[in-house]
A = this chain, B = another copy of it.
Amino acid sequence: MSLRLKVRLLGFSSGTPLVVVDDSVASALGAHAHDRLVLKHGVGEAVAVVNVARHLPSDVVLVNDEVAELLKLREGDEVEVDLASQPRSTFYIRDFINRVQLTRDEIHTIVKDIVEDRLSEVELTALVVAAEERGLSVEEAFYFAEAMVETGERLELGVKPILDKHSIGGVPGDKTTLIAVPILASLGYHIPKTSSRAITSPAGTADRAEVLMPVNLSIEEIKRVVLKVGGCIAWGGALRLAPADDKIIRVEYPLLIDPFLVASIMAKKVAVGATHVVVDIPVGRGTKVKTLREAEHLARTLIEVGRRLGLYVVCGATFGDQPVGRTAGPALEAREALQALTSFRPVDLVDKAVGLVGLLLELIGVREGRLAAMEALTSGKAYAKMLEIIEAQGGDPGVKPEDIPVGGKTFTLKAERGGIVTWINNTSVATVARLAGAPKDKGSGVELHVKLGDHVRVGDPLITVYSEHSPKLHLAEKYIESNPIVQLGKPGTDMLLKKLLEPKLPLEPLTLGR
């Protein structure tokens, strides 16, 4: 039974077609929350997920901009509203929850429905959580990646090989891309690097690069820059490369899970036309991958899914037990990266960059890839190339590291005892930098004065927090008071880290014999 309802415009766009009706309207239509309604107006037809509300008149349907645009609706228009059937992919998602192995067609249908906004939030979340719980097979990851590519835009440079680099992430201060891209481009290769902004970390590569140059490039601009100077460092978020992934991430983020990791990395690489890819897998406490064994498993899947997609993939497990270099936060990191291109320090950052670039060069047949990378760096070619990239993207090629502004409010934590640095807490470093304002306040962040193994004396500075605003600096300070950032010890002491777990139920007191 369809109803004729009067349109009220919500006046905003929410990314997907959405309507709101009163409880009484929903029950007259036989609709429950999360069902879909089909709206008809003239010859137009739109399907929207229904939100069921109360206190609304029973002859009204509220529509968002997406629905209004699809049906060219104005306030007060009449529309015919009926219960819509469910998209096929909802059945496949239920099968997926029930651990059925999905076919290629079924996965392609799901991805298409994600991109076209036919799934409700409940259904999309169910897909993501079920994937996390059951895991994806290599075959499923391949099908998801393939479908993500097909439903998105693609970059076509018309050259070969096209190189790319990706990091699984999780280590604060990882500015390796800002070194690796200019090295590769300076060697004459094409590397159209797209990066993300921080979601839960103090800086994403796009946030770091944006301190030096505009990163909101269109696909056409990326093409122009890369064909001109060999490489770019652009923000990938608005490019609609594998847009299904962008929608999946919106649900993954609040849950801190990432089950489509392999599919989405590979989809983005195929979408930019990459032929050879190096994937950095940081291994360590406070990163996503805790052991080398896990890293090997992940690498195997990445390589195999890549192979099926026609990509050559090499993976490098990297040391992730402490931040890379000595800074975390967009401006501090941009500065450190520029310095590394001229001073070749800090050594861990340089070592990581040339190590990963070396793997990638060897993948395309270069002998002694690491040496070639180091040579590009120490000869100054990579630095010169970085300035070309900055200029080609519209930044200032005259930029000097010391000119990059960082937060003027600072706080330095000093050692209250001496010892050897035995642990630097990645998560706490990230939290402090975020409390100080990163990534939104580009000048905010953390500088580490010590790294693992350093000998520290009482009163030595351990970390300095930079912030653009005093209240934020204060928040970071408060956090540091109760959360250890750097642990000092002597090997063989401080073995008891923490008392774990109270007993769940009160224990009966022991009855001692009289």
Contacts and interface: CB of A to CB of B under 8 A. Distances in A.
Interface of A: 1, 10-15, 20, 22, 27, 30, 32-35, 51-56, 62, 64-65, 90, 93-94, 97, 103-104, 120-123, 125-126, 128-130, 132-134, 199, 250-251, 253-257, 440, 469, 504
Closest 9 CB pairs of A and B: A133-B133, A12-B53, A125-B125, A129-B129, A13-B54, A34-B254, A12-B56, A126-B129, A13-B55
B123 A122 contact: no
Contacts of A65: 54-55
A97 B33 contact: no
A34 B502 CA distance: 32
24 contacts: A1-B469, A11-B56, A12-B53, A12-B56, A14-B20, A14-B51, A14-B52, A27-B440, A33-B250, A34-B251, A34-B254, A53-B64, A54-B65, A55-B65, A93-B255, A94-B255, A94-B256, A97-B132, A121-B125, A122-B254, A123-B255, A126-B128, A129-B133, A130-B132
A294 to B, nearest CB: 14
A123 B33 CA distance: 16
Contacts of A1: 469
Nearest to A34: B254
A34 B257 CA distance: 15
Contact of A126 (B35, B62, B123, B125): B125
Contacts of A20: 12, 14
A54 B12 contact: yes
Given A53-B14, A56-B11, A253 B133 contact: no
A254 B123 contact: yes
A251 B94 contact: no
Nearest to A49: B254
Given A129-B133, A130-B133, A133-B130, A32 B103 contact: no
A381 B279 CA distance: 77
Given A12-B20, A15-B53, A129-B133, 6 more contacts: A11-B55, A12-B56, A14-B51, A34-B250, A121-B121, A133-B133
Contacts of A51: 14
B120 A254 contact: yes
Contacts of A32: 199, 250, 253-254
Given A35-B254, A104-B504, A255-B94, A62 B122 contact: no
Most chain B Cβ neighbours within 10 Å, of A11, A22, A35 = A11
A287 to B, nearest CB: 16
